Structure 1
Amino acid sequence: MPRPKIPRRVCGKPCSCSFKPSGISLAQLERVNLAADEFEAVRLVDFHGMQQQVAAKHMVVSRQTLANILKSGRYKLVECLLDGKALFIDN
């Protein structure tokens, strides 16, 4: 049985909860879900330029946990851009 997830502090909210390639209906696209903690990690490190150690303290997780969350979030974003998938951000 896996360990339960430690609650993570998420302060940023996206202005939109979904993005998709133009010209293709949503019904025809594969969907990728970006978790709220993945969105927050990408926002803090990539958008605000925080160092991982500072961002990890802000989210109340270890630096290694933040690095894992960030890697997963970045992969999902790139997957949507390269493969033309729809991105949904969890609240």
Structure 2
Amino acid sequence: MPVNLTDGKGDSLLILAAYNSQPEVVKALIERGAELDQLNARGQSALTCAVFKQDEESTRMLLEAGADPKLGPQNALAVTEMFDLPQFRAIIEEYL
């Protein structure tokens, strides 16, 4: 199965794993070379989804792997403001 496979909404396997708070799958996909900054049809990345779901483990893995917190119209930094998640903003700022 292609590591960057997407569904009809543009959700990649990595985006779906992050959105469903599955850090072990996020890690496996990163190790297999999944595109970190792929955006879905709503302009969301896997990092955006991990932050939205408040999954610290996946958030840190994605940032450590080089995911861009400023990418896309619904980016991870914007999500920290929109949903009042200062602890996740602080995590992101550690990697900027």
TM-score past 0.5 threshold: no
More strand by share: 1
Larger RCO, structures 1/2 (Cα 8 Å, 6+ apart)? 1
TM-score by length of 2: 0.27
TM-score by length of 1: 0.28
- Computing the radius of gyration over CA atoms, which structure comes out larger, 1 or 2? 1
